[in-house]
Amino acid sequence: MARLQAREARVLSLAWVRLPAPTGQREAYWVAFWLLLPATVGLIVFTFAPLGYALWISLHDYQLLSGQLTWIGSANYVRLLSDPGVLKSLVVSGLYTLISVAAQVIVGLALALLVKDHVRGLGFFRTAYFLPVVASFVVMATIWKFLYAESGLFNAILLTVGLPVNMLVFLGGVQAIPADLYESAGLDGAGPVQRFMYITLPLLKRVLLFVVVMTSIESFKLFTPVYVMTTGGPQDSTNAVVFQIFRTGFRYYELGYAAAMSFLLLVVVMLLMWFQFRALRTDVEY
């Protein structure tokens, strides 16, 4: 009886012993480690470390020319709440984002629906739509600056910068929708508008969420056209928040205040993303 109890005790104790991983599995772990190491180091060095340093600077009065660093706590953030220039730049960026996202989503989806079928020359049109993506933003802004100065008719074209990418994303989503859903709806007498409203749009919600979020982030990062074309004028009517951060930090040399503005922008964008995820979430599968 005692021998049986001792054997049961040894068996139970084995459950707590962690057996070494097979040699092949250990090699796979090391391969994954070395493959992930460069990206992880780059992420820490070039993203998280500068972000932490920027947060530290935002709590100081940091004068760029003298290099003087004085601890002031949350004074920069308190100053933000009463600075009309910051609030106006947020309004300008918000208005630009609203117009830009609406235009790019509507026109991008429309272009995707137009080229989704297998028509002659489809590859050429897809390439033509995507060409502006590989062009330099500075070059495009400079060209449109001259066009604007000569005729004043093409300023709205700047809103279409993100259309090629969005069109391709929407095109992938539209082509992934099963064709038999449209055939069944057509047999039931549904017209093009009904098929779009009750099939295409609901099944594109996840793609739409991705496009809206990415376009909103890119729109809030507006800087190059403002810097090249208007420098924030006239009378700060085009002074986007990123340009305001740049001007505060590298023209007025208030790096601490500029860093605080950057974190304010981060909070605004995160709140916007939270609202977009809440508004566009879906459980529809196909």
What is the CATH number for 235? 1.10.3720.10
Residue 91 within any structural domain of the chain: yes
Tokens of 27: 């090699």
For 8-28, b where at least 16 C-beta lie within 10 A, e where not — what string?
eeeeeeeeeeeeeeeeeeeee
Tokens of 186: 């057509």
Q: Residue 142's domain spans which residues?
A: 84-280
pTM tops 0.75, yes or no: no
The number of domains in the chain is 1
**Per-residue pLDDT tens for 192-236?**
888 888 888 888 888 899 999 999 998 999 888 888 888 888 888
Task: Quote the mean pLDDT of the chain.
Answer: 80
Nearest Cα neighbor of 113 from 47, 226, 195 is: 195
* Three-class DSSP category at 63: strand
* 167 vs 146: which has the higher pLDDT: 167
Residue 74 within any structural domain of the chain: no
Fill in the amino acid letter for 25: Q
Percent of the chain with pLDDT over 90: 29
Residue 229 within any structural domain of the chain: yes
Indicate if the alpha-carbon torsion angle 190, 195, 198, 199 is positive or negative: positive
